[in-house]
Amino acid sequence: MFPARLACGTRLRPPARACWRSLVPTPKLTLFKVGIAIGVAGLVLYATNDTAKHVILTTERIGVVTAATARCFLLYKDVLGKEFSSKAERTAELNKTHQKAAEITLRALEKNGGIYIKLGQHITALTYLLPKEWTDTMLPLQDRCPRSSLEEIEQLFIKDMGKPMSELFSSFDPEPVGVASLAQVHIATLKETGEKVAVKIQHPTLQEFVPLDIYLTKTVFNLMYRFFPEYPLTWLGEEMQASIYVELDFTNEAENARKTAQYFQNFTRETALRIPTIVAAQKRVLIMEYVAGSRLDNLEYLNQHNIHPHEVSSCLSHIFNNMIFTPDVGLHCDPHGGNLAIRSVDKRTSPSGHNFEIVLYDHGLYRQIPLQMKREYSHFWLSVLDGDVPKMKEYAGKFAGIEGDQKFRIFAAAITGRSPENALNYDISKARSTDEIKNIQSQLLSTDGILEDLMYILSSMPRIVLLILKTNDLTRNLDESLSNPLGPERTFLIMANYCAKVVYDESKERIAATYSKYSVRATLEYARTWWAYQRRISTLYIYDFIMMVRNLRHQFLS
């Protein structure tokens, strides 16, 4: 293009003058310099400008979710589109895909933190629905939540409480005793009274990113439904959206704790329940009485303090059956192992008469179960315990909208935690075996149509029924972890008493609305319903009497 004599380095140019090519930057050098400039500018903006920082972090969160979702979709698209020589080969390959996808998802949830951690914790509880590779992989999220820095929580405290922590506390432990998906808890001492308190402080980044995270979560579930319509999980995103904003307002938690403590103060003998007293509450800061304890399923702790597992199991049953079946009592919807503790006390001075207290934490998510649903649910469980399958079908349809034989069998298995065969021929004296639990999961994954029907049931039933199912499942697992030597029989008899009381009150209300107050027919109906109620509750008294005689006999012989 140019004459040779004008080429760089020729003798025709004075050596002191620069070559024209050296004056034009190379593309690589230009890109490098531009990249450095953008990077430096980005770092400056990130450090000094809140809007720029928000945009950068938002972009990063979206990128994490998008990348993880795309990778998982490609993994499943690949394996589901393959032809396999046998069903065993397909199952093995699908299990590997479950594991890879779960690990990718775990890293994404840990990276973004916040409500993504909570989503992972929900996944661990869906053992009756999701493959083992998914539920097991998410287990670390129960105890491995990212923590906020002391500087971050100090700034939040001043903003919400209107004063620095040093004005309110004489001491404040910078190391949190617990870190959860939404908040972390520190131990402090009140200046004014010297009382030791627990200070629950919300992670500061949640308020900024929750709307985006909810949107992303719902988008992912909607995409899953679009590509895999037979596995609708959109209800999980909807439930998170309905509950997360309630949980993020700690004044709701304070009110729930006060109401629950007030109600249960009349039932300490049955429940041995202790709810930490609320000291102060703002939207993102909660100060409460410090009540420490051990995990409820710590059998070594129970043994060291001579606490009998069957007593703990009984109290646990009374706590949650009270919440589910008693009118106007709210249901604690997150009773996992981290939200329950047990502590030994002196039996001689204990108002409950027990040598322990069950401590219930985290009252952020409560639901009020409608009275009619409590009644239908009571009828359902009484028919389960009586082995009355037609009645089971009737009331499953009424309170959960279950129709069709296959869907009914699946629902009965899900709500009882038993295999379909055992759920329809219920024997309360027999605990679930490991083989039975494996059989349930195997049927879900191997029997055509069962998993799809279960997904449909979960997506279409009322949300409150889902929360009852979740509470049932969590408390059942806790009860089993106690290794109760008496088995599940007494637990079910306690529940039967609560169900019977609900049905008895319903019957009295119906009789009063149907017959004249002093008519012979009304008197006969009252007598019949009273006798049915007494017969039901006497079963528990007879059982307790038999157990007492057995224990006395055992002590005498030993």
d(CA 323, CA 369): 9
Please name the residue ranges forming H helices in 327-462. Answer: 371-386, 389-400, 405-416, 420-424, 434-446, 450-460
Residue type, 379: H
Give the SS3 label for residue 369: coil
d(CA 124, CA 260): 27
Q: What is the number of other CB atoms lying within 10 angstroms of the CB of residue 63?
A: 12
Q: What is the bridge-based pairing of β-strands 356-360 and 273-274? A: parallel
- Cα–Cα distances (Å) from 97 to 93, 100, 123, in that order, read 6, 5, 17
Per this entry, what is the length of the chain? 558
* Residue located via tokens 């500087």: 151
Is residue 334 among the annotated active site residues?
Answer: yes
d(CA 72, CA 83): 19
For 174-284, list the strands marked E by DSSP. 178-179, 183-190, 196-202, 273-274, 278-281
| Active-site entry in 136, 249, 297, 334 | 334
Q: Note whether 496 and 542 are within 8 A (CB).
A: no
Q: Which secondary structure element, helix H or strand E, spans residue 289, and what is its range? A: strand 285-289
d(CA 213, CA 60): 12
Rounded to 10 deg, the angle between the 205-227 and 115-125 helix axes is: 50
Just list the catalytic residues. 334
